[in-house]
Amino acid sequence: MGKPLVHVLVINWNGQEHLYDCFDALCQNAYANARFFLIDNGSTDGSVDLVRSEFGHDPRVEILECGANLGWSGGNNRGMERALEARANYVFLLNNDTAVASDCIEQLVSFAEARLSAGGIAPKMLLFDQPDLINSIGVDCSLVGVGWDIGLGRVDGPAWSEPRQVLGLCGGACLIRCEALHKTGLLPEDFDIYLDDLDLSLRLWDAGYEVWSCPGATVLHKFSATMGEGANLRRKYYRNTRNRLRLILRNFPAASVFQVFPAYLLAEVRAVGRALVNRELWKAWSHVRSWFAGLAYIPKAMAARHEAQTRILKPGSFWPLVRKDLLFFPGIELPTGGWYPERYVRGKLMRPMARTAWVQSLGGSLRLSHANCYPRIAQSEVEIRMGERLLAVLTTLDSGCTELEVPEGLIEFVSRRVFTSEETGETIDIGGWVRIEEE
């Protein structure tokens, strides 16, 4: 019996600068029965020509031109319709700014075939330029429809390497069983983008399937923590705010209304109040617009719920996994070059680091102050490297100082022992605290 057929759908709109890395990584996958589709939403930057010229020789690569920008949901739906027509076993939704590991598809399919109850599988997404930090292993959701990536910004390690059930899939990279799509239907195109992946995930649970993380399959993602600026920022903020209410109206159990409505009201009051205090009137107006849009959306939401009743097997199955302890994502700070913003430690300004961090040195004398904020937990140990050469190891239970003579080049700091958020109560995992003074 042959391997299951997988259609990999790379959604794209004017993302030419990302496509070489994405398709180059896909074409290096050894999985024997995959098709790699560029789902192009009417790009005008030469995206289609690049994929055709660079990867058209590979018989697995195909191009589906939508002719217009159908949005993230619309474009992916055209790809999923194609997959269902071709009787594919799985679709693998993939953002264009990703690079999959060489065994990623094999790992995902093996995981899915071993768990027939799994309708959706989330690979471990890592930050493209800091691959020891997690982007997502799945998605959480609060009572008020806010979704966020599980593990975002955390240091990868054993705690993140065990499969687990998760509420939702991150649409940036996820495998979906085609059999399940026949029961759930496709993505909600009126969402356009944001939370449409979570909407589908909730319907997977209600259709009698489960959603799992598969940490053995890894994907690098050029994640951006910002929402941009200007009109782009305002558009994104409004769509996120609007779609939260749509997600609730379409999916949350009717019996949860007495729990959800007070929480939603409190969350909106807080958000609008914060916007007014910060004089961000456009944010307040986005919330007001979303309320009216929600009222207008009720007939569509009721129609979607009615249609779902003909498909679902276990209504409200996802509800126990909804976070009841948080209204909004608590937020996390991502490091730059492995370094977090300076803070005072033992009277000196020092920079906490993730597991790895780096600086470009001009060469000469280097004075390194280092400290340990949590001696009760463990000794702090940070290696200083240039290429394969180990220059020094900063070791302390308290604080210390080391002077080095270094040539010009990239200096890498590598922690031997990461102080995790669970141990310290910090919101980040910390590999060490260092102050660098270059003469």
pLDDT at 307: 86
Return the C-alpha torsion angle 312, 318, 320, 322, nearest 10. -150
Q: Are residues 242 and 215 in the same domain?
A: no
**Pair of tokens at residue 221:** 């993602």
pLDDT one-digit tens code per residue, 330-350 = 888 899 999 999 999 988 899
Which among 334, 415, 383 is positioned nearest to 126, based on CA atoms? 334
Residue range 91-118: average pLDDT? Answer: 97
In the chain, the amino acid numbered 308 is: A
Q: Are residues 75 and 183 in the same domain?
A: yes
Whether the predicted pLDDT of 174 surpasses 80: yes
Paired with 433 in beta bridges are: 352, 371
Q: Are residues 212 and 240 in the same domain?
A: no
Q: Are residues 267 and 364 in the same domain?
A: no
221, 251, 280 - which closes a domain: 221
Q: Are residues 402 and 292 in the same domain?
A: no
Q: Are residues 134 and 269 in the same domain?
A: no
Q: Are residues 205 and 275 in the same domain?
A: no
**CB proximity list for 104: less than 8 A, separation 6 or greater:** 29, 123, 217, 218, 219
pLDDT confidence band for 98 (50 / 70 / 90): very high
How many other C-beta atoms can be found within 10 angstroms of the C-beta atom of residue 335? 22
pLDDT at 107: 98
Domain count, the chain: 3
Residue 168 main-chain phi, psi, to 5 deg: -140, 170
| Element containing residue 76 per DSSP (H, E) | helix 71-85
Report if residue 331 sits inside a domain: no
**Pair of tokens at residue 329:** 């994502």
Mean residue pLDDT across the chain: 95
291, 321, 351 - which closes a domain: 321
Report if residue 423 sits inside a domain: yes
Whether the predicted pLDDT of 423 surpasses 80: yes
Domain with 392 in it: what CATH number?
A: 2.60.120
pLDDT at 259: 96
Residue range 72-77: average pLDDT? Answer: 96
pLDDT confidence band for 316 (50 / 70 / 90): confident
CA distance 280 to 271: 11
Q: Are residues 217 and 234 in the same domain?
A: no
pLDDT at 225: 53
Q: Are residues 275 and 144 in the same domain?
A: no
Q: Are residues 15 and 163 in the same domain?
A: yes
3-state helix vs strand vs coil in the chain, percent to 5? 35, 30, 35
pLDDT at 314: 78
How many other C-beta atoms can be found within 10 angstroms of the C-beta atom of residue 316? 17
Report if residue 257 sits inside a domain: yes
Please report the sign of the dihedral spanned by the C-alpha atoms of residue 152, residue 153, residue 159, residue 161: positive
Whether the predicted pLDDT of 209 surpasses 90: yes
Q: Are residues 351 and 389 in the same domain?
A: yes
% of the chain beyond a pLDDT of 90 = 90
pLDDT at 228: 57
200, 221, 242 - which closes a domain: 221
Domain limits at 305?
230-321
Residue 209 main-chain phi, psi, to 5 deg: -100, 175
Which among 140, 136, 122, 139 is positioned nearest to 324, based on CA atoms? 140
Report if residue 334 sits inside a domain: no
pLDDT at 378: 96
**Pair of tokens at residue 172:** 């940036």
Q: Are residues 349 and 388 in the same domain?
A: yes
Domain with 96 in it: what CATH number?
A: 3.90.550.60
Q: Which residue has the higher pLDDT, 224 or 269?
A: 269
DSSP string for 221-289: E-------SHHHHHHHHHHHHHHHHHHHHHHS-GGGHHHHHHHHHHHHHHHHHHHHHTT-HHHHHHHHH
Residue range 116-139: average pLDDT? Answer: 97
pLDDT at 30: 87
CA distance 435 to 349: 7
pLDDT at 313: 74
pLDDT one-digit tens code per residue, 219-258 = 999 987 545 568 889 999 999 999 999 999 999 999 999 9
The pTM (predicted TM-score) of the whole model is: 0.94
Whether the predicted pLDDT of 1 surpasses 90: no
**CB proximity list for 251: less than 8 A, separation 6 or greater:** 199, 202, 203, 206, 305, 318
**Is 333 within 8 Å of 430 (Cβ atoms)?**
no
**CB proximity list for 109: less than 8 A, separation 6 or greater:** 3, 4, 6, 31, 90, 175
pLDDT confidence band for 417 (50 / 70 / 90): very high
